[in-house]
Amino acid sequence: MSLIKLEGITRQYRSGQIKVNALKGITLSVEEGDFISIMGPSGSGKSTLLNIIGCLDRPTSGSYELAGRRVEKYSDGKLADIRNRLIGFVFQSFHLLPDLDAQANVELPLIYRGVGSRERHRRSLSALEAVGLANRRHHRPSQLSGGEQQRVAIARALAGEPAVILADEPTGALDSQSGRNIMAIFQKLNRERGLTIVQVTHEKNIARHGQKIIYLLDGELEREEVLAKPLEA
């Protein structure tokens, strides 16, 4: 079943007097349980596409179906609800609050969703266990390595029990070994939980840990590469 279905997606915006066509008729499907990587040079439309998939931006034209819902014309409030319930975000910058320990950082979005304290504790601990950091749950970001901070960010996304994780350059601020560790976690979540993952990356070796690579060029889908044997982390 298609979890994400884009048809003829365009995105135009203005930079001064110039009209920029960031996306030009993107048609793409992501099935439940897929692990997809999006690649392309700077300015190819990768982040714009991820923002639309993540309901952080709207297409200028075209249709977007997420988990069976046509969302491209939803109100801001409905889009926020969709983000909260269906999407987990992981960014290059970890966006952890420095005065909170790892578990409190994981729980914070659940507080905004109105999740009770006992359930927040259960979900946060389970998510930290999934990324191998249960024993570091009382450490603040300054006491964690970059790779560990990114694992906390992944746990924060997991705690919301999303249908899909969207990762924007998740290894961009990490050394190569920490990057491989993050990919090992993604592969485990994908294979053992069936979690759908869509990541943007400029690193070919990182992209090859997924099942398919989508190549963008000048706002268009240039080609797709299906990997018969993804790279093992």
Tokens 């990324």 sit on residue: 131
- Give tens-digit pLDDT for 30-65: 999 999 999 999 989 999 999 999 999 999 999 999
Q: Which of the residues in the chain have pLDDT under 50?
A: none
Question: How many whole angstroms separate alpha carbon 68 and alpha carbon 119?
Answer: 28
Domain ranges (residues) in the chain:
2-226
Question: What pLDDT is attached to residue 112?
Answer: 86
Could you tell me if 2 and 30 are in contact, meaning their C-beta atoms sit under 8 angstroms apart? yes
Domain spanning 2-226, CATH class: alpha beta
pTM score: 0.93
Q: How does the average pLDDT of the chain come out, rounded?
A: 94
Question: What pLDDT is attached to residue 206?
Answer: 96
* Rg (the chain; Cα; Å): 18
| Sequence-separated (6 or more) residues with CB below 8 Å from residue 125 | 103, 134, 137
| Sequence-separated (6 or more) residues with CB below 8 Å from residue 194 | 32, 33
Nearest to 204 by CA among 213, 191, 192, 193: 213
Question: What pLDDT is attached to residue 73?
Answer: 86
Question: What pLDDT is attached to residue 187?
Answer: 97
Question: What pLDDT is attached to residue 78?
Answer: 92
